[in-house]
């Protein structure tokens, strides 16, 4: 009985999420459609045509960004929490970074200080979504290139994942606003990535904290309780 109840709660959550996402995605798509329509008007100057085209692309890119931040790994099924091998999950996200890092000159430094498998409890897709969103922010903070370091470390009762960049960094006022819906400093940002991260980390009984300095870079530290403490 307990299990059934939990599952139906989850389906409800997915329903709510789907409703808010379709709203989020429809707005920029409607805008893009409007500009495409305006591009078909007679007597349009070349300058206006180019400008509308840019706006249309921006709308589509924005919709795409929302899908990436919310649902990159999600499937229309409800996953059960499982035992996750931290190292494997981290490695599994790396190929997904390719599209974001290919343009800027970014060196990846992955370092595991975990010898034996370390297990935490969670849903694989959600955990990977967390890692992806944080790593994507790190990459986006290094427009002129830099180093993205991902370190995993085993503590007595938890696993630590450190994601560090050498990017633009943040003021302490900005750090305080992380995770607030729609907080973004990017032209084409969604301001939803870290909100998703923080709610998923909480769901996994984890902790997340950020340290940052303007022009020096940012460290994101995530902690998750070990499923089988040493
Ligand atoms: P988005 O990436 O769409 O802007 P997020 O919720 O992922 O939304 O991030 C919110 C804001 O937090 C970003 O716009 C940026 O200002 C700041 N931020 C997050 N991570 C970093 C980072 N590694 N370096 C610098 N700024 C960051
Ligand atoms: Mg982001």
Q: What is the pLDDT of residues 8-53, one digit of tens each?
A: 665 666 566 667 778 788 888 999 999 999 999 999 999 999 999 9
Asked whether residue 1 carries a pLDDT value surpassing 60, the answer given is no
Work out the pLDDT band at 5, boundaries 50, 70, 90. Answer: low
Asked whether residue 80 carries a pLDDT value surpassing 90, the answer given is no
Q: What is the pLDDT of residues 163-217, one digit of tens each?
A: 999 999 999 999 999 998 889 999 888 888 998 899 889 889 999 999 999 999 9
C-alpha 192 – ligand 1 centre gap (Å):
9
Is the ipTM beyond the 0.95 threshold? yes
Spatial separation of the C-alpha atoms in residues 122 and 33, rounded to whole Å: 39
CB 211 within 8 A of CB 218: yes
Pick the ligand that lies closest to the CA of residue 199: 1
Task: Kindly give, in sequence order, each residue whose CB lies less than 8 Å from that of residue 173, ignoring residues fewer than 6 positions away.
Answer: none
Of 58, 67, 137, best ligand 1 pocket probe by most atoms within 8 Å of the beta carbon? 137
Tokens of 72: 């990159």
C-alpha 218 – ligand 2 centre gap (Å):
14
Spatial separation of the C-alpha atoms in residues 204 and 211, rounded to whole Å: 21
User: Which atom of ligand 1 lies at the shortest distance from residue 183's CA?
Assistant: 10
Q: What is the pLDDT of residues 90-137, one digit of tens each?
A: 999 998 888 777 767 999 999 998 888 899 999 888 899 999 999 999
Task: Kindly give, in sequence order, each residue whose CB lies less than 8 Å from that of residue 107, ignoring residues fewer than 6 positions away.
Answer: 145, 146, 147, 148
List of long-range contacts for 25-28, beta carbons under 8 Å, 24+ apart: 25/63, 25/66, 25/67, 28/58, 28/59, 28/60, 28/62, 28/63, 28/66
pTM over 0.90: no
Q: What is the CA 119 to chain-centroid distance, rounded?
A: 22
pLDDT for 77: 60
Pick the ligand that lies closest to the CA of residue 191: 1
Work out the pLDDT band at 2, boundaries 50, 70, 90. Answer: low
User: Which atom of ligand 1 lies at the shortest distance from residue 194's CA?
Assistant: 6
C-alpha 38 – ligand 2 centre gap (Å):
31
C-alpha 137 – ligand 1 centre gap (Å):
5
pLDDT for 119: 94
């Amino acid at each position: 009985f307990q299990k059934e109840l939990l599952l139906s709660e989850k389906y409800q959550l997915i329903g709510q999420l789907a409703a808010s996402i379709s709203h989020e995605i429809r707005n920029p798509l409607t805008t893009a459609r409007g500009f495409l329509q305006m591009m078909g008007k007679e007597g349009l100057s070349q300058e206006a045509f180019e400008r509308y085209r840019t706006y249309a692309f921006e709308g589509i890119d924005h919709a795409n960004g929302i899908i990436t931040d919310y649902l990159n790994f999600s499937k229309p099924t409800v996953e059960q929490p499982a035992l996750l091998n931290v190292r494997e999950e981290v490695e599994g996200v790396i190929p997904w970074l390719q599209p974001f890092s290919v343009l800027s000159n970014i060196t990846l430094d992955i370092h595991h200080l975990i010898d034996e498998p370390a297990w935490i409890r969670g849903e694989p897709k959600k955990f990977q979504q967390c890692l992806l969103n944080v790593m994507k922010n790190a990459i986006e903070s290094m427009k002129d290139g830099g180093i993205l370091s991902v370190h995993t470390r085993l503590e007595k009762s938890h696993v630590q994942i450190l994601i560090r960049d050498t990017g633009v960094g943040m003021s302490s006022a900005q750090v305080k606003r992380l995770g607030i819906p729609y907080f973004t400093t990017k032209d084409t940002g969604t301001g939803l990535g870290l909100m998703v991260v923080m709610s998923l980390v909480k769901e996994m009984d984890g902790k997340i904290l950020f340290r940052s300095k303007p022009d020096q870079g940012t460290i994101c530290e995530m902690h998750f309780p070990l499923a089988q403490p040493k």
